[in-house]
Structure 1
Amino acid sequence: MNDDLSDNYARAYGGTAGFGARPALVLVDFAEGYFDPDCPLYGDEGCRTALASALRIREAAHAAGLPVILTEVSYPDDSGVTGGRFWQKAKPLQAFVKGRSTAAFAAGLVPRDDEVIVTKHYPSAFFGTSLAPMLTAMGVDNVILTGLTTSGCIRASCVDAMSHGFITTVVSDACGDRHPGPHEANLFDMNAKYADVVSEETILAHISTLPKRGN
């Protein structure tokens, strides 16, 4: 091939999904473990900058009256039985056992009374949860994804959001990973096949054009 990878993908996957009429913002798994240097999940600067971006988008979403959903991973005990093969494979999931400091929402992210918290046991925010029917009942047609990590739970949630029939938007600045390589590779692939990957600036500009709506 003489052309580079971007040109090659543009020929096959150059389409865009656009935005829907009724978006909802989802903040995926901003847990303290990703910000604790002693935790195996620690994501350093990539996670810190993602959280800062997501919090700004969250404020804009509330100002526009958009539904805002927070997800958390939580296991009741050390048995990991509710995590099944995911728990068996990914040992750092022990950080999400209920009651551990690493399982709590990250500093700066205090759930609001008008936000919904979805508890999950697997990577996708949709798998084994009520998120999809809840969003459908709200009339949501566009899921805006932010959170951690890009290569894990964001990618899984992105594929499932699209598969459930939602226009899917991934905000690159508001997603993070422990290394820029997996972060950029997964953003590239999601943008090619499943979602539109946009910047914080782009999503804030879009939200500002929406008519104010109640949740």
Structure 2
Amino acid sequence: METSDLTPRQYWAQVKANPARAKFGFGSKAALINIDLQRAYTDLDAFRTAYQTDLRQIDYINALADLMRKRGWPVIWTYVAYLADGSDAGVWGTRTNTEDSLQNIREGSERATLDPRLRIDRDRDALFNKRMASVFHETPITSLLNWHRVDTVILTGGSTSGCVRASAVDALSRNYRVIVPEECVADKHEIPHFASLCDLMLKYADVEPWTVVRDWLSADQVSAR
């Protein structure tokens, strides 16, 4: 195993400046999947479980969602929530049992509510409850993407080291090109955040500035690149 004195932030800067592999690139049609942007994870004033990495994360996500809708491409929002007794959390809900515990996010609760700053089109956007890390686990998302003939998945939300990373691995495993706009994902601590960005970039996804994704979606004619 190689060793390094670099911090995760420094290592990420190094990986970003000198990518070791060619990019997957954008395909011809994308879906935007916004992962667990619910108050439990975005409302810093209300919940100890909330976190923030980029102050304008929500603004950037809203801008990307607007561009996706203009193209008529799928915009998907996920949230995590469980039954009143938490029994549908399975073994994932057995490690702790506090008011902040994952399995105690109840369906319909404030913790399960999507952030009110998000611009969600309730008439056309898809909203799915998920119970495990990956957005693909026991949800209709794969079927929806296949119906829309999507070949590229843009992932936003959190956490970078948890649900975003798990979803990226599953997306690549399903032969989707995976794009992660860097400013649009967040984590509780910088160590897992930057370490995961490195892991994503080196193995599973193209981690791009959000402006690169915006410009691709804004082009008069998008093209695979």
Q: Say yes or no: TM over 0.5.
A: yes
Q: How does 1:66-81 map to 2 (within 5 A)?
A: 66-77=73-84, 79-81=85-87
Q: 1:192 aligns with which of 202, 213, 221?
A: 202
Q: Counterpart amino acid of 1:84?
A: G
Alignment deviations for residues 99-152 of structure 1 (CA, whole Å, 9 cap, x no partner): 211110012125311101111000100011111122012100000001111111
For residues 195 and 221 of structure 2, what CA distance do their matches in structure 1 show?
A: 34
1:62 aligns with 2:69: yes
Query: Aligned-pair RMSD on alpha carbons?
Result: 2.5
After TM superposition, the structure 1 stretch with the greater mean CA deviation from structure 2, 147-156 or 175-184, is: 175-184
Tell me the CA shift for residue 95 of structure 1: 5.0
For residues 166 and 174 of structure 1, what CA distance do their matches in structure 2 show?
A: 19
The structure with the greater share of residues assigned to helix is: 1
Q: 1:30 aligns with which of 27, 37, 42?
A: 37
Structure 1 residues 98 and 48: alpha-carbon distance in aligned structure 2, compared to 1, 3 A threshold:
farther
Structure 1 residues 139 and 101: alpha-carbon distance in aligned structure 2, compared to 1, 3 A threshold:
same
Q: 2:21 aligns with which of 14, 18, 30?
A: 14
Give the TM-score taking structure 2 as reference length.
0.83
Identity of aligned residues (%): 29
Alignment deviations for residues 7-65 of structure 1 (CA, whole Å, 9 cap, x no partner): 7xx68x4121000101111111100112143423111x326532222112111212222
Tell me the CA shift for residue 90 of structure 1: 6.0
1:149 aligns with 2:155: no
Alignment deviations for residues 76-114 of structure 1 (CA, whole Å, 9 cap, x no partner): 21x222111112236521452112111100121253111
Q: How does 1:82-97 map to 2 (within 5 A)?
A: 82-89=88-95, 91=97, 92-97=101-106
**Partner of 2:140 in structure 1?**
130
Structure 1 residues 98 and 15: alpha-carbon distance in aligned structure 2, compared to 1, 3 A threshold:
same
**Count of residues in correspondence between the two structures:** 208
Structure 1 residues 58 and 95: alpha-carbon distance in aligned structure 2, compared to 1, 3 A threshold:
farther
Give the TM-score taking structure 1 as reference length.
0.87
Give ranges in structure 2 of 5+ residues lacking alignment.
none
